[in-house]
Amino acid sequence: MAKNKDQDIEIISRNKKARHDFYIEETYEAGIKLKGTEIKSIRNHRVNLKDSFALVEEGEVYLHNMHISPYKEGNRYNHEPERKRKLLLHKNEIRKLIGYTTQKGYTLVPLTLYLKKNLCKVELAVAKGKQQHDKRRDIAERTAQREMEKAFRRQQKGDY
């Protein structure tokens, strides 16, 4: 729902779990090939990126498991909610992604789905999976940072 007036971007959905589960190496902006009822559902914020991922298949990049709810006013031409969707990238970007995904441990994860100048875009990240102890360490660091900020605010107020 956030709207950035400088670039006319409306954020539709974020994959919050992606930054928790993965180290983000590099990000790309990609368009998505959609059907008419899909874009109408996206404009109504009826989309979920939670378990979605991208794969390179035969020189093309496809997004899997992105759930777009069927359009309520749609009829028999309504779309399948979890079909694979083609991502629109430049050829040299696809070659880079092929290079990354052939390395062990790297995967393609969508971070954000947004509308930019009335076109649906996805922020695609090249990511490496975190292990359980890495996730725990990140949580501990965030908690410690929050505690330091609280203490600093209390000190500024004079509440010691």
Place of tokens 């914020």: 45
Distance CA 20, CA 30 (A): 22
160 has a pLDDT exceeding 60: no
pLDDT tens-digit series, residues 38-84: 888 888 898 988 889 999 999 899 999 998 888 877 777 777 788 89
**So what's the pLDDT on residue 3?**
59
The reply to whether 78 and 145 lie within a common domain is no
CA distance to 61, 68, 138, per residue, from 46 (Å): 23, 6, 31
Q: Residue 141 belongs to what domain range? A: 130-160
**So what's the pLDDT on residue 29?**
93
At 159, is the pLDDT very low, low, confident or very high (cuts 50, 70, 90)? low
Instruction: State how many domains the chain has.
Output: 2
**So what's the pLDDT on residue 142?**
87
The reply to whether 110 and 156 lie within a common domain is no
Place of tokens 């109504």: 44
5 has a pLDDT exceeding 60: no
For residue 108, the cross-strand partners are 54, 126
The reply to whether 22 and 72 lie within a common domain is yes
At 86, is the pLDDT very low, low, confident or very high (cuts 50, 70, 90)? very high
**So what's the pLDDT on residue 61?**
92
And the tokens for 139?
A: 């949580």
Nearest to 38 by CA among 87, 77, 89: 77
The reply to whether 10 and 71 lie within a common domain is yes
The reply to whether 84 and 136 lie within a common domain is no
- The CATH number given to whatever domain includes residue 122 is 2.40.280.10
The reply to whether 34 and 59 lie within a common domain is yes
The reply to whether 61 and 135 lie within a common domain is no
The reply to whether 74 and 145 lie within a common domain is no
Rg for the chain (alpha carbons), in Å?
19
